[in-house]
Each structure stands twice: as C-alpha cells, then as structure tokens.
C-alpha cells in the first residue's frame, strides 16, 4: 500500500505529513510526498518543518522536494492533499476516473469529516508549524488506523 501526501511547495506541510504518517505505520506501507509547484525541487524541507518534527522525534531532514507528476496516479493507492487548491491542481492532472478517486482532502478523513484545509505555514512563524504538526498528527492517527484495518480486511 502506497500513500502520497501533496501540498504546494513540498517543503512544509506534505513533508511533515509524510514523516508523521510513516511514524505511525508498519514497514509494509510506503509513504512519500510531492508538491504541485517546482519551486523547491531537490531542496530539503523548510528548516522550521524539520525543527518542529525533530521536537516530536520525527526526522524529516533527509527528504527532498519533488514535483507531482501524473505517473504518481499509477504509483500510489491514495493521494492526500492539504487544501482545496491542491485538490483542484491534482484532479486536473487526472487522466481517468480511477485517478480522481484516489485523491482526498486530508481532513475529510476526520471522524467528523470537514472540508477544512491544513493552512500553509510558509509565511507564518514556528508556532504555525507547531499548529500544523498537531493537526497532521491527529489526522494521521486516524488515517493510519484505517489503512491498517483496510489491509487486514484485504
């Protein structure tokens, strides 16, 4: 089972989501992340994202930015996006209906599903990164439980 996290720049939200979800899943799951834009390809995550995750014992410093490509629809079983703009941008690249069905707004997985977004902390400060971490940590706990159950059921 392969899961892809997508945000705009692939240096703040999706690298954090990748690290957090990975920390909650056994090794038979693969988690990766990508960005809609190509601004930060090959760059490490934002220093504030690395620092915030490190504080919670998650190391994301080895990650490298990459851009989302339509071939990701073939590689991944589920694609979680952080906000509505990401959703439109990813769905726009879908080649067929099955591609579209893989894409979900990450907070739609909450026990009481919402259409809320994970706010972009890029222009914010370290506290905004901590807030994003807490939101992602909560939702990734729910997602990990679901994924593990889905795999057991088969």
Alpha carbon 15 to chain centroid, angstroms: 7
Q: Which of positions 54-113 make contact with ligand 4NP (CB under 6 A)? A: none
10 near ligand 4NP (CB under 6 A): yes
Catalytic residue among 46, 72, 83, 120: 120
Alpha carbon 131 to chain centroid, angstroms: 15
12 near ligand 4NP (CB under 6 A): yes
DSSP string, 59-126: --TT----B--TTHHHH-SEEEESSHHHHHHHHHT--SHHHHHTEEEGGGGSSS---------TTS-H
User: Which residues face 34 on adjacent strands?
Assistant: 6
Q: Is 13 a catalytic residue?
A: yes
User: Which residues face 67 on adjacent strands?
Assistant: 35
What is the CA angle 148-96-41, rounded to 5?
70
Q: Which lies closer to ligand 4NP via its Cβ, residue 12 or residue 140? A: 12
Minimum CB distance to ligand 4NP, residue 66 (Å): 12
48 near ligand 4NP (CB under 6 A): no
Minimum CB distance to ligand 4NP, residue 118 (Å): 8
Residue 149 neighbours by CB distance under 10 Å: 9
8 near ligand 4NP (CB under 6 A): yes
Q: Is 7 a catalytic residue?
A: yes
Minimum CB distance to ligand 4NP, residue 14 (Å): 6
Q: Binding-site residue total for ligand 4NP (CB under 6 A)?
A: 10
122 near ligand 4NP (CB under 6 A): yes
Active site residues: 7, 13, 120
Binding residues for ligand 4NP, per CB under 6 A? Answer: 7-13, 39, 120, 122
């Amino acid at each position: 089972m392969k899961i892809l996290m997508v945000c705009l720049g692939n240096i703040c939200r999706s690298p954090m989501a990748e690290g957090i979800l990975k920390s909650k899943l056994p090794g038979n799951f693969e988690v990766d992340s990508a960005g809609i834009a190509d601004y930060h390809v090959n760059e490490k995550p934002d220093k504030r994202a690395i620092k915030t995750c490190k504080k919670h014992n998650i190391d994301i410093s080895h990650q490298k930015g990459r851009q989302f490509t339509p071939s990701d629809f073939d590689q991944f079983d589920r694609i979680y996006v952080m906000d509505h703009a990401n959703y439109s941008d990813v769905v726009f690249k879908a080649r067929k209906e099955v591609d579209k069905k893989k894409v979900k707004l990450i907070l739609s997985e909450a026990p009481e599903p919402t259409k809320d977004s994970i706010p972009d902390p890029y222009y914010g400060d370290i506290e905004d990164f901590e807030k994003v971490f807490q939101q992602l940590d909560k939702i990734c706990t729910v997602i990990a439980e679901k994924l593990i159950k889905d795999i057991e059921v088969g």
